[in-house]
Homo-oligomer: A and B are copies of this chain.
Amino acid sequence: MPHIAYDLEGRMEILEVGPRDGLQNEPVVLAVADKVELIARAVAAGARRVEAVSFVNPKLVPQMADAAEVMAEVPRQEGVSYSGLVLNPRGLDRALAAGVDEVNVVVVATETFSRRNQNRGVDDMLAAWAQIAGDARAAGARTTVTIAAAFGCPFEGEVAAERVLDIARRAAEAGPYEIALADTIGVGTPDRVRVLLDGLAEAAPGVRRRCHFHNTRNTGYANALTAVALGVDTLDASIGGIGGCPFAPAATGNIATEDLLYALDRMGVPTGLDLASVIAAADWLAGRLGKAVPAQLGRAGVFPATG
């Protein structure tokens, strides 16, 4: 039976965010060697972009204090882009010194969340982004911006699409490689994905679009596949679906790389990733974290059964 052809130019890209967004929200802190192994396993499974580390205040995010060590020890593979999250020029300096290929800046869509999370308002963050983007580009690094809480805010509740798109419009002036819409607390639904993605294409014409979904309320995969159907060709996901949500401590985290990959494989969407290798990496990671991971594929098994 033929599958529906999804309208993709080339392959779908899964940006592996487990080493950063995943581990940052896990209570267990992995050793540098384990962080390096997670990144290496993602790359060995076929990932061509990895959000490997963040260069933020180590007092606020102790899980990422060893970012420079991780970047120094990770084996670099040709054709793979290793990304670091930064929030200010000092972070950019550290990221460039550590040799990242790209820097990702997070701008939160609401004032309250921005001030609580980054100690600055939205306008200040957009100004910081513009400076970082210019400096990073001058240093030869790719720059991306992620709009957090784009589907809802833990403090302010509903977030108007126009507010998100206004931020996108202003962020686009600094010439990003890509703008990402992040459902940071996992409240989005497919109708909202469509509204924001259509709006983003108008607000930032010619800029690549990426989406970042959490499965906190079981809408993450529906949102992700809606984004795929709408022509987005990069999705964030984390091996094992690790990461959690700091605003819903009992809930699950990012959409899982292996569960997303299963769906894309079944739909005939090429990604370049090997499902068995990702499942094996999640199994290894569960052992290091000392807990079961939220991803389902490891428990349910691949279908049709292979081997």
Contact = CB atoms under 8 A, between A and B. Distances in A.
A138 interface: no
Given A191-B267, A218-B215, A221-B222, A245 B300 contact: yes
Given A162-B1, A195-B1, A262-B217, A300 B222 contact: no
A99 interface: no
A189 B219 contact: no
B1 A189 contact: no
A296 B248 CA distance: 10
A263 interface: yes
Interface residues of A, number: 52
A251 B299 contact: yes
Given A157-B305, A221-B221, A259-B218, A296 B189 contact: no
Interface string A51-94: 00000000000000000000000000000000000000000000
A248 to B, nearest CB: 4
Contacts of A262: 217-219
A307 interface: no
B157 A304 contact: yes
Tell me if A's interface is mostly helix, strand, loop or mixed: loop
Q: How many copies does the complex hold?
A: 2
A250 interface: yes
A2 to B, nearest CB: 8
Interface in A248-307: 248, 250-252, 255-256, 259, 262-263, 266-268, 295-297, 299-301, 303-305
A116 to B, nearest CB: 16
B219 A263 contact: yes
Contact of A248 (B3, B160, B187, B301): B301
Contact of A217 (B1, B215, B216, B300): B300
23 contacts: A1-B161, A3-B192, A3-B195, A4-B194, A4-B195, A152-B303, A157-B303, A157-B304, A189-B267, A191-B268, A216-B296, A217-B259, A217-B300, A218-B221, A218-B262, A218-B297, A222-B224, A222-B263, A248-B299, A248-B301, A250-B299, A251-B299, A252-B296
- In the complex, the 9 A-B pairs of residues with the closest C-beta atoms, listed nearest first: A157-B304, A4-B191, A222-B222, A250-B299, A251-B300, A218-B259, A187-B303, A248-B300, A189-B266
